[in-house]
Chain A
Amino acid sequence: MRIILTMRPRKNPFIPVEAEGIVPSILMNGAEITVWEGNRERRLDEVFEVAVEGEAATVEEVEVVLRGDTSRLKRIGEYMDGGRITVEGDIGMHCGNFMKAGTIEVMGNAAGWFARELCGGTVVCRGDAGHYCASGYRGEKKGMTGGRVEVFGNTGDFAAEHLAGGEVVIHGNCGDMPGVEMHGGTLSIGGDCTRPCGNMTGGTCTVLGCAYGMIPTFQAKGETNGPDGKNISAFTGDIANRGKGSLLVRRYQYLK
């Protein structure tokens, strides 16, 4: 079953649309769902052209395709528990919050809080992701606990903050403080970042580029083999908080 949702042209395309109902298991039942456009509640077909092809017996056979200008579309795939969502363009904030199973693939860029507090499933972004990608939420001690997040472009600040489980792979550069407060799981950064893993207590973070503003409370453990076979510097920390995480960086530079 393919459910194709094409965003209708809007008078003011900057007004955000909150669409926590766009989840395969909800849409496959044909339930009447509504979305909020700004402060107005709208039927799904007021905002999207809806086309349904085929049928599905289980949620695994459902694919939701989002087309058009979806860059202001928030909270899609929230609590998603199976199936597939494909976003052909950009996606707004909070895509894949709390997702448990299934796959979300974003062909364009993702805004902030991408795959926040993920528990399972796979979330892929072909472009760049915003701040707080694969992170926890304000005040909460546990962030992402399972699943896999892959970003092919760059991400903003605080990627994988409070990471507690699962796998985060960022092929490009990260902003400030990736993996801060991390206590489980693995984080791989293909490019550069600044101040990685402050206050980390567990888990593994690998930086294949340069860690600028390297945090001084990480204890150097010498060199080991990196995932690509080349040498990489290993650190343990954050010892300021009795942490036992491991941070592997190809190059690093302390603040002067």
Chain B
Amino acid sequence: MSDLLIKNAFVIDPINRINGEIMDIAVRDGRIVEDVGQGAEVIDAAGCLTLPGGIDSHTHICGTKVNFGRYMSPEDMRAGREARRGVKHSISGYSVPTTYANSYRYAIMGYTTLLEGAMAPLEARHTHEEFSATPLQDVMANTLFDGNWGVMEAIRDGDLERAAAIVGWTLSAVKGFGIKLTNPGGTEAWGYGKDVTCIRDKVPYFEVTPAEIIETMIRSCELLRLPHSVHLHCNNLGKPGNYACTIETLNLVPDLNEKRQTLYATHVQFHSYGGSDWKTFCSKAEPVADTVNNRPQIVIDMGQVMFGKTTTMTADGPMEFNLYRLHHDKWSNHDVELETGSGIIPVLYRRKNLVNSIMWAIGLELALLVKNPWQCMLTTDNPNGAPFVKYPEIIALLMSKKYRDAEFATVHPDTGSKVVLPALERELDWNEIAVMTRAGQAKALGITGIGKGHLGIGAEADIAVYPLKVDDIDPSTEYQRVIDGFAQTKWTVKRGRPVSRDGEILVHGENTTIWVDPKIRPERDISRNPRFVEMFNHWYSVRMSNYPVQDEYLKRNLRMETEAAI
């Protein structure tokens, strides 16, 4: 029995509609309960802001791509070095730190659940191996289907059920969580030396369009009854004028699910660019945010850019190649056979650079212009926009107009004519921040049912106690206190056990890998389909029997079984 009582906490729990009540939280065996007895360990959270554990619904912390970022940037490991101490492993790195560094830093910021944004199915083992070295957060991995040959062939044949069957089998084979589409069709087209300009161009050989891929995958997702919606990285990332394509894509999305959104559009900041080249580059956050406001079936994440050094990594290979031609710095591109690709380059976002300054403004604009905080998640697409350790600063920027103005005064002087940020008066409140960093993320991921993102009875006891006395602080002026408060919890509790206190890591924990296993009727089992097996054996360099990730790769794990409609 492990009992814990958090006393006098100032609780904000948006899912249970609690907004600033002083209450006690009782925990027994990792779950929140009504009451615990006398013997419980007591944490005195007197008046401290207490939230459900943070959830990052889009980050890159594990897997081959992240690891290749580490290979490429040994200089990154010169930052953030700390020696081994107590239960803590030695750590190092800033934008692509070691797995332990990621886990500790997230824990210190109060984050308890992470979603690795893009896992190539063929390279899933590596992701799971790194998950096992991420001790303090529950993890899950979205699985890439953007250039999957089997899926694209099914789409060409107009066979939705077949596409869904492939997705379902792959997800349970590689222990993935949801569907990720990164520049759907684009990376594969690039593999043929071509490119797609928007969603109506055909992918060579397969003769399907990105729009068809997106629509089919959205419908497959619903057929499989996956907890999370399709997680889409739109086409044309980072190109001036791409907002039109983004809006066209968002307008495709039907409203198919009453519990959650039908599409999660990721790092929309990188997709809200106006202008026709880098000279006329400007913000088009307004039309994109309007589209989101009019379409409740869509949830976006910001993909906020913050100034400084970082490493960009994405399955969007052509985009990274274009970035390389811009910067002429280190560069890597990979092809993952039959499935997807990827690219990695280090980037320095500079205040003196007009384009970078506009990018910085667009992320904030999106968050402020999307009216419903449940539709906009706070992320940096770690580490693409900035390493996640910048989250407290982003929170403060969203809560304080004064801070935004102070920062705005330091960016490129021409930024003002290209963005609307200075005109936005909105200042988010504590509740909205709680939605954007945990409750909304849990709802978008469809994991509230397993007790994530809230503090109701029966919920997983993932709790973050911040040294912020909400009544004392005026976030619109005292933004530094907000930054400091969110940067380091007083206590982070994971599954009922305090894992960090005032920045000190207390335990070497064990995570839970959450994965989805759609239950498909045996006659639709694609792994017994002769045509699929033949394709697999003919083109893949691995045997089908060697493809699924063995159970040994998962230590503690939670299998979410869904009743698929096929």
Tell me, yes or no, whether B74 is within 8 Å of chain A by CB.
Answer: yes
Tell me, yes or no, whether B72 is within 8 Å of chain A by CB.
Answer: yes
Tell me, yes or no, whether A54 is within 8 Å of chain B by CB.
Answer: no
Tell me, yes or no, whether A140 is within 8 Å of chain B by CB.
Answer: yes
Tell me, yes or no, whether A10 is within 8 Å of chain B by CB.
Answer: no
Count of A-B contacts judged by CB separation below 8 Å: 14
List, in ascending order, chain A residues with CB within 8 A of B372's CB. Answer: none
Number of interface residues of B (CB under 8 A): 9
CA A241 to CA B72, docked complex, whole Å: 19
List, in ascending order, chain B residues with CB within 8 A of A141's CB. Answer: 329
- B75, B329, B330: the one contacting A137 at CB < 8 Å is B75
Across the two chains, which residue of chain A brings its CB closest to B328?
A241
CA A219 to CA B216, docked complex, whole Å: 55
Tell me, yes or no, whether A256 is within 8 Å of chain B by CB.
Answer: no
CA A243 to CA B382, docked complex, whole Å: 34
List, in ascending order, chain B residues with CB within 8 A of A138's CB. Answer: 74-75
Tell me, yes or no, whether A139 is within 8 Å of chain B by CB.
Answer: yes
CA A137 to CA B74, docked complex, whole Å: 9
Tell me, yes or no, whether B365 is within 8 Å of chain A by CB.
Answer: no
- Contact mask A123-151 → B, CB, 8 Å, 1/0? 00000000000000111110000000000
Across the two chains, which residue of chain A brings its CB closest to B75?
A139
CA A141 to CA B328, docked complex, whole Å: 12
How far does the Cβ of B202 sit from chain A's closest Cβ, in whole Å? 36
Q: Which of A137, A139, A141, A241 has the most CB of B within 10 A?
A: A139
List, in ascending order, chain A residues with CB within 8 A of B75's CB. Answer: 137-140
Tell me, yes or no, whether B562 is within 8 Å of chain A by CB.
Answer: no
How far does the Cβ of B74 sit from chain A's closest Cβ, in whole Å? 4
Number of interface residues of A (CB under 8 A): 6
Tell me, yes or no, whether B73 is within 8 Å of chain A by CB.
Answer: yes
- Contact mask B325-356 → A, CB, 8 Å, 1/0? 00011100000000000000000000000000
List, in ascending order, chain B residues with CB within 8 A of A137's CB. Answer: 74-75, 78
CA A241 to CA B329, docked complex, whole Å: 11
Tell me, yes or no, whether B316 is within 8 Å of chain A by CB.
Answer: no
Q: Which of A123-182 contact B (CB under 8 A)?
A: 137-141
List, in ascending order, chain B residues with CB within 8 A of A139's CB. Answer: 72-76, 330
List, in ascending order, chain A residues with CB within 8 A of B329's CB. Answer: 141
- Contact mask B373-406 → A, CB, 8 Å, 1/0? 0000000000000000000000000000000000
Q: Which of B33-75 contact A (CB under 8 A)?
A: 72-75
CA A137 to CA B79, docked complex, whole Å: 14
Across the two chains, which residue of chain B brings its CB closest to A136?
B75
List, in ascending order, chain A residues with CB within 8 A of B72's CB. Answer: 139
- Contact mask A13-38 → B, CB, 8 Å, 1/0? 00000000000000000000000000
How far does the Cβ of B70 sit from chain A's closest Cβ, in whole Å? 10
Across the two chains, which residue of chain B brings its CB closest to A142?
B75
List, in ascending order, chain A residues with CB within 8 A of B73's CB. Answer: 139
List, in ascending order, chain A residues with CB within 8 A of B74's CB. Answer: 137-139
- Contact mask A86-129 → B, CB, 8 Å, 1/0? 00000000000000000000000000000000000000000000
CA A158 to CA B76, docked complex, whole Å: 21
CA A241 to CA B328, docked complex, whole Å: 9
How far does the Cβ of A87 sit from chain B's closest Cβ, in whole Å? 26
CA A141 to CA B309, docked complex, whole Å: 13
CA A139 to CA B69, docked complex, whole Å: 11
How far does the Cβ of A155 sit from chain B's closest Cβ, in whole Å? 22
How far does the Cβ of B93 sit from chain A's closest Cβ, in whole Å? 12
CA A241 to CA B330, docked complex, whole Å: 13
CA A187 to CA B17, docked complex, whole Å: 69
How far does the Cβ of B269 sit from chain A's closest Cβ, in whole Å? 27
How far does the Cβ of B509 sit from chain A's closest Cβ, in whole Å? 27
CA A137 to CA B77, docked complex, whole Å: 11
Q: Which of A57-97 contact B (CB under 8 A)?
A: none
How far does the Cβ of B325 sit from chain A's closest Cβ, in whole Å? 13
Q: Which of B433-452 contact A (CB under 8 A)?
A: none
List, in ascending order, chain A residues with CB within 8 A of B328's CB. Answer: 241
List, in ascending order, chain A residues with CB within 8 A of B78's CB. Answer: 137
CA A98 to CA B471, docked complex, whole Å: 48
CA A241 to CA B78, docked complex, whole Å: 27
How far does the Cβ of A178 sit from chain B's closest Cβ, in whole Å? 21
Q: Which of A181-227 contact B (CB under 8 A)?
A: none
Across the two chains, which residue of chain B brings its CB closest to A140?
B75
CA A242 to CA B322, docked complex, whole Å: 18
CA A1 to CA B418, docked complex, whole Å: 62
List, in ascending order, chain B residues with CB within 8 A of A241's CB. Answer: 328
CA A137 to CA B78, docked complex, whole Å: 10
CA A98 to CA B328, docked complex, whole Å: 26
Across the two chains, which residue of chain B brings its CB closest to A241?
B328
Across the two chains, which residue of chain A brings its CB closest to B73?
A139
Q: Which of A231-253 contact B (CB under 8 A)?
A: 241
CA A141 to CA B346, docked complex, whole Å: 12
CA A121 to CA B328, docked complex, whole Å: 32
Q: Which of B73, B74, B75 has the most CB of A within 10 A?
A: B75
How far does the Cβ of A186 sit from chain B's closest Cβ, in whole Å? 24
- Contact mask B307-332 → A, CB, 8 Å, 1/0? 00000000000000000000011100
How far does the Cβ of B511 sit from chain A's closest Cβ, in whole Å? 30
CA A251 to CA B76, docked complex, whole Å: 40
Across the two chains, which residue of chain A brings its CB closest to B330?
A139
Across the two chains, which residue of chain A brings its CB closest to B346?
A139
CA A28 to CA B210, docked complex, whole Å: 69
CA A139 to CA B329, docked complex, whole Å: 11
CA A137 to CA B330, docked complex, whole Å: 15
How far does the Cβ of B517 sit from chain A's closest Cβ, in whole Å? 41
How far does the Cβ of B96 sit from chain A's closest Cβ, in whole Å? 11
How far does the Cβ of A119 sit from chain B's closest Cβ, in whole Å? 16
List, in ascending order, chain A residues with CB within 8 A of B76's CB. Answer: 139
Across the two chains, which residue of chain A brings its CB closest to B71?
A139
How far does the Cβ of B39 sit from chain A's closest Cβ, in whole Å? 42
CA A138 to CA B329, docked complex, whole Å: 14
Across the two chains, which residue of chain B brings its CB closest to A201?
B328
How far does the Cβ of A125 sit from chain B's closest Cβ, in whole Å? 25
How far does the Cβ of B537 sit from chain A's closest Cβ, in whole Å? 41
How far does the Cβ of B56 sit from chain A's closest Cβ, in whole Å? 27
CA A157 to CA B383, docked complex, whole Å: 34
How far does the Cβ of A15 sit from chain B's closest Cβ, in whole Å? 20
CA A82 to CA B329, docked complex, whole Å: 35
How far does the Cβ of B347 sit from chain A's closest Cβ, in whole Å? 13
CA A141 to CA B72, docked complex, whole Å: 12
CA A116 to CA B5, docked complex, whole Å: 54
CA A241 to CA B76, docked complex, whole Å: 24
List, in ascending order, chain B residues with CB within 8 A of A140's CB. Answer: 75
Given contacts A138-B74, A140-B75, A241-B328, 9 further A-B contacts (CB under 8 A): A137-B75, A137-B78, A138-B75, A139-B72, A139-B73, A139-B74, A139-B75, A139-B76, A141-B329
Q: Which 10 A-B pairs have the closest CB atoms?
A: A139-B75, A139-B74, A138-B74, A140-B75, A139-B73, A138-B75, A137-B75, A139-B76, A139-B72, A141-B329
- Show 9 residue pairs from A and B whose CB-CB distance is below 8 angstroms, ordered by the A residue: A137-B75, A137-B78, A138-B74, A138-B75, A139-B72, A139-B76, A140-B75, A141-B329, A241-B328
